[in-house]
Structure 1
Amino acid sequence: MFIKTDKQAELLKKLEPVLLKIADRSQELEDSRDFPFENIEDLVRIGYSTWTLPVHEGGKGLGLYDFLLCQEKIAEACGPTALSIGWHSGIVLQLQENRNWEAAILHETFQQIKKGALINRAATEPATGSPTRGGVPSTQARKVHDSWVISGRKTFTSMAPMLDLFLVNAWITEENRMGWFLINRSQPGVTIEKTWDVISMQGTSSEDLLLEEVIVEDKYLVEEPKGMDKKGEGWLLHIPACYLGIASAARNFAIKFANEYTPNSIKAPIATLPNVQRLIGEMELELMQSRHFLYSVAGNWQNEIDLRHQLTPHLAAAKHSVTNSAIRIVDKAMRIVGAQSLQRTNPLSTYYRNVRAGLHNPPMDDATIHMLAQWSNLKK
């Protein structure tokens, strides 16, 4: 019921063959703990990495709602693949909406993406933690003649093995301000250090980005935020969409198991048991609530452009609510399947570990609740 247009149905249909292959590779990826190169390559091959580009730049001009529908389905097949490509496609959507770069540089970047280049922001650092907390980056940029020389280390650089372009924030000490620089992977001084060793979302390969005296032309200082003010960013809803997709996969697995598993202590599948039916019903309720909340907010963002300044609390609340619901859905699925769900070869054990990562994607729960309290007071 959330597919509203023929265009959306066509996009999801185009994804189907690729998603079948991605799902088939999911256990292999889990065992290897490697980056899903083939999955991303398949998505790039069908043009998915260009779908959020403007139409006049060779894309499909997807809005937020359309983008999230696709992201949820990709996440059903593979969470790390969805989160990885989601950062790229979401940033392209952000650039499409904001258009706050110099026009020639934006066009140049869009054309690189049209040809298959992948992009992500690199903002998190060991000393500052999440960039949403307002810390000043330790990465330094200094002006030398007509260029910038940038040095620093960034962490959590998702999709690092395949990224071509990095949007890096750095502190311009001489001017006491921050700037965002567009850096090409091929530039001297740019290296990736393999540091990603976690139990959740291992496949995103969110390695460290090292910048050692990287020389960047002045025109690639692409964003100069005024102060540290924050505004709503609808594209970040790709995060809860990813975890909702994981939860949906867990729900599907649990229901299939419940309809097929018949222990010799009863004469029918466990799906007939009242306690199992209760858990299934609770999962359905959580999924309904989450989808209605997520796609309602996304629809408002996509269609009511004049209201976007009012939607920042709704974006954060949707991320908080949907992500926590996803965790509860996976928990209920595991209760249905029982101890088998803890086996490493059981998909539920993967969903369980991966869905927990959502708690640590911005905005975090405490920041969201604090913001909502402030927003409520301001409304009075």
Structure 2
Amino acid sequence: MINLFIKTESQKAWLKKLYEVESKFKNNSAQIDELAFFPKEHIQDLIRMGYTSSTLPKSYGGGGLKVYDMILLQETLASFDSATALSIGWNLGVIGDLFEQESWSKTNLDFIAGEVLNGALVNRSVSEAQTGSPTRGGRPGTKAVKKGDYWVISGRKTYTTMSPVLTYFLVSAWIEERQKVGFFLLHKDLDGLYIDETWDVISMRGTGSHDLVLKDVEVDDSKLVELPEMPSGNRFNAWILHIPACYLGIAQAARDYAIHFANNYSPNSINAPISQLANVQQLLGEIDLELMKARHFLYSVAEAYDDESRRIHFTNELGAAKHIVTNAAITIVDKAMRIVGAKSLQRNNPLQRHYRDVRAGLHNPPMDDVTIKNLAKLAIEQTKSNLSGHPLLK
């Protein structure tokens, strides 16, 4: 079904590169989950093929991929191995957003572009145990204090995905003297910076989303790269669509397994593959319908965002896309397990892994309740302003 969404020769070329590692990634995925180890070798494969710099603009030497391109590739990658896809998706999204917004100085953008081209990996580190998701507006407990020509940063960050291989951590910290949150670009080898391996969960076990600990880390003023005017959750960032793309890929893998099973399992009670049974066909049809709805919504939102003349009309489409796709993925995997039956609960069956992994999507930003609340608030405000009628009146 994904072939319907391939539009360019560039996309075909990137997909061809990814399919070269399909067997390797799929063969490793069960062990990555079972042992909860980070897939460093997969990430190195992606660095070698230039994938990690694919969302860097061409003017900086990168691949110049847009949001639509990214979700196409990320969905495909996630169907091979979920942990690899979600991990590298953060790097792709951060780079794409940084250079689209151009909120850094030209000097800093030039620097990080050169680093990414040389294989550096970067992710934001913003979540904290006491504040929860930064999209809800909590002030970070991590603090940055100016001492002479240096900043001294201390704190602990949670859910730092891809921490075992990150070169740079883009860390949020509260700056008391400015009464603002700033972002500091911190290299992995700085004194006082270390990883506390706390990641012990049942979903996305291989993402290495450990705690980042900062104890009096000193950096010069140039490493204060962002002083945003608004919380990150209050602006459009379509690069976050790498998240639903990942869960859509997992759902596709579950669907493919269920169909293969249905076509090859022939109990002697019916002397035919169970794919011939009406109830199984009902579930398979419902799975594909869910996939079609989710995929068309996600890709249409990405396509609209990449068109700047349409992007200006965005309201809550990004949150809605994440909500629709992640919840559809949960439904799809559930139906796939109903087809396969109790065998889907065996530890050597990929469906039980897919089932656990798609649940993680509920806890990636933006959260479902925030999306629904925003949709309701917009509908109410539009009605009050008499702007809910013909689009030309808006």
**What percent identity do the matched residue pairs reach?**
54
User: By how many angstroms is 1:147 displaced?
Assistant: 1.8
Q: Distance in 1 between matches of 2:310 and 2:280?
A: 43
Per-residue CA shift, 1:147-196, capped at 9, x if unaligned?
21100000000000000001001000122111111111111111000000
- Cα distance in structure 2, aligned partners of 1:176 and 1:96: 26
**Which of 290, 296, 320 is equivalent to 1:292?**
296
Contact 1:232 1:308 in 2 (8 A): no
Question: Which amino acid letter does the alignment assign opposite residue 181 of structure 1?
Answer: F
Distance across 2 between alignment mates of 1:358 and 1:260: 31
Note the alpha carbon deviations across 1:228-270, whole angstroms, 9 max, x for none. 3711110001000000000000000000000000001012100
Q: 2:284 aligns with which of 261, 280, 294?
A: 280
Residue 115 of structure 1 aligns with which residue?
A: 118
**1:279 aligned counterpart, secondary structure:** helix
Is structure 2 residue 268 aligned with structure 1 residue 260? no
Residue deviations 1:96-141, cap 9 Å, x none? Answer: 2111100011110110010000000000001100010100000000
Matches within 5 A, 1:226-241: 226-228=229-231, 230-241=234-245
The answer for the alignment partner of 1:6 in structure 2 is 9
Render the CA deviation track for 1:53-79: whole Å, top value 9, x for unaligned: 111222110000001000000100111
* Letter aligned with residue 9 of structure 1: K
CA distance in 1, matches of 2:162, 2:227: 25
Shift of 1:309: 4.2
Whether the 8 Å contact between 1:232 and 1:309 is mirrored in structure 2 is no
Decide which of 243, 247, 268 is 1:243's aligned counterpart.
247
The answer for the alignment partner of 2:228 in structure 1 is 225
Question: Residue 308 of structure 1: CA displacement?
Answer: 2.8
Q: How does 1:52-201 map to 2 (within 5 A)?
A: 52-201=55-204
Deviation at 1:378, TM superposition (A): 2.1
Letter in 2 for 1:254: A
> What CA RMSD, in Å, does the superposition of the two structures yield over aligned residues?
1.0
1:38 Cα deviation from its structure 2 partner: 1.2
**Of 324, 346, 350, which aligns to 1:347?**
350
d(CA) in 1 for partners of 2:224, 2:314:
29
Find the counterpart in structure 1 of residue 341 from structure 2. 338
Note the alpha carbon deviations across 1:185-229, whole angstroms, 9 max, x for none: 111111000000000001001000001111111111111111437
Q: In the superposition, relative to structure 1, how do residues 189 and 204 fare at CA in structure 2: closer, same or farther (>3 Å)?
A: same
2:184 is aligned with what amino acid? F
Q: What residue is the counterpart of 2:37 in the other structure?
A: 34
1:7 Cα deviation from its structure 2 partner: 1.2
Farther-moved stretch of structure 1 (326-335 vs 306-315):
306-315
Partner in structure 1 of residue 26 of structure 2: 23
Asked if the contact 1:93/1:235 (under 8 Å) is kept, the reply is yes
Amino acid at match of 1:265: S
2:162 & 2:183 partners in 1: Cα distance? 19
Counterpart CA distance in 2 for 1:228 and 1:60 is: 29
1:306 is displaced (CA, Å) by: 3.8
SS of alignment partner, residue 170 of structure 1: strand
Summarize deviations over 1:281-320 as a string: whole Å, max 9, x none.
00000000011000000000112x1443432400000000
Separation (CA, whole Å) in 1 of partners of 2:192 and 2:255: 46
Partner Cα separation in structure 1 for residue 203 and residue 105 of structure 2: 38
Shift of 1:19: 2.2
Helix, strand or coil: the match of 2:285?
A: helix
Q: So what's the TM-score if we normalise by structure 2? A: 0.95
Report the secondary structure of 2:20's partner residue.
helix
SS of aligned partner of 1:156 = strand
Q: Distance in 2 between matches of 1:245 and 1:343?
A: 22
Q: Secondary structure of 2:186's partner? A: strand
- CA shift at 1:277, angstroms? 0.2
Q: Which amino acid aligns with 2:361?
A: G
Q: With the length of structure 1 as denominator, give the TM-score of the two structures.
A: 0.98
For structure 1, the residue ranges without an aligned partner over 5 or more in a row are: none
8 A Cα contact 2:33 2:204, kept in partner: no
Matched AA of 2:265: Y
Find the aligned partners of 2:310 and 2:105 in 1 and give their Cα distance: 26
Gaps of 5+ in 2: 384-394
- Equivalent residue for 1:48, pick from 43, 46, 51: 51
Question: Once the 2 structures are TM-superposed, how far is the Cα of residue 20 of structure 1 from its aligned partner?
Answer: 2.0
2:320 equivalent to 1:317 = yes
SS in 2 for 1:203: coil
Offset, 1:48: 0.5
Secondary structure (helix, strand or coil) at the match of 1:160 reads coil
Moved more, 25-34 or 74-83: 25-34
Preserved contact between residue 231 and residue 312 of structure 1 (Cα < 8 Å):
no
Please state how far the C-alpha of 1:39 moved relative to its aligned partner. 1.1
Partner SS state of residue 214, structure 1? strand
Letter in 1 for 2:158: T
**Which amino acid is 2:355 matched to?**
Y
CA contact (8 A) 1:34 1:205 kept: yes
* Structure 2 counterpart SS, 1:11: helix
> Structure 1 residues 4 and 126, CA, compared in 2 at 3 Å: closer, same or farther?
same
